[in-house]
Amino acid sequence: MPNNIIIVDYGMGNLHSVKKKLLRLNVNPIISSNPNEIESADKIILPGVGHFQKAMENLQKLNLIDALNEIVLIKQKPILGICLGMQLMANKSEEGNANGLGWIDAEVVKFIVKDTLKYKIPHTGWNQIIKTKDSLLMKNISDLSEFYFVHSYHFLVNNNEDILNETEYEYKFISAIEKNNIFGVQYHPEKSHDDGERLLKNFIEL
């Protein structure tokens, strides 16, 4: 099992709840914004809560974009994006009309619901995932398992093969993606009890 797991710190939150969950799995990750440390990682976790444009600006200011491209695209080490961290993997987002990392041929769009009494935005709370393909990330996680969500924007992909999970919230949206060594979940495994812990364990053991 690789012992060098980096949680990327780019000033966009929920780092310590992710670290706490990994410590429960007997893994001691490093929280870092150092490009050299990130490039030398065995695995990367890219968490995040907040505004897409601000997140990309922070990555740019910290000189992390080249380091992330090196570790993910060149060295092809596994990466797990969580919530905003997943969204940053797309080409662009409506949130701030900003370009993303471009690892997944996708864009991030705002939820548009008709029944605003029943379906509040942000989408907050527990919801089921629909598994759309086999994946080591989903090992021992049942179809229709519940995970915890907090978000106002969601993924649209141009290649359906990249879809790992879908979730229903007035309409179906993409709640997880997988492409080669790139994994992203819209929900928060660090807040999703046993199934969330299992997902993180699966990522560690990839």
154 among known catalytic residues: no
Asked if residues 46 and 80 have their Cβ atoms less than 8 Å apart, the reply is: yes
Of 83, 123, 151, 178, the active-site residue reads: 83
190 among known catalytic residues: yes
The DSSP letter of residue 107 is: E
Of 95, 170, 190, 197, the active-site residue reads: 190
Cα 156–Cα 159–Cα 163 angle in degrees, nearest 5: 65
Q: Considering only the C-alpha atoms of the chain, give the largest distance between any 2 of them, rounded to a whole number of Å.
A: 48
168 among known catalytic residues: no
CA–CA distance, 160 with 181 (Å, rounded to integer): 17
Nearest to 184 by CA among 56, 46, 31, 30: 46
Residue 137 identity (one-letter amino acid): L
Of 123, 151, 154, 188, the active-site residue reads: 188
Catalytic residues: 83, 188, 190
